[in-house]
Amino acid sequence: MEAEKEQSKHAASLAFATAVAAEAAVAAAQAAAEVVRLTSMPHYTEKTMEEIAAVKIQTAFRGYMVFNYFFSYLLGP
How many Å separate Cα 41 from the centre of its chain? 24
Closest CA to 31 of 3, 59, 53: 59
Distance CA 53, CA 47 (A): 10
Structure confidence at residue 21 (pLDDT):
78
Structure confidence at residue 51 (pLDDT):
87
Structure confidence at residue 75 (pLDDT):
78
Distance CA 61, CA 75 (A): 21
Distance CA 44, CA 54 (A): 14
| Number of other CB atoms surrounding residue 31 within 10 Å | 20
Q: pLDDT by residue (tens digit) across 32-74?
A: 887 777 777 666 568 888 888 888 899 889 888 888 888 787 7
Q: pLDDT by residue (tens digit) across 10-40?
A: 777 777 777 777 788 788 888 888 777 777 7
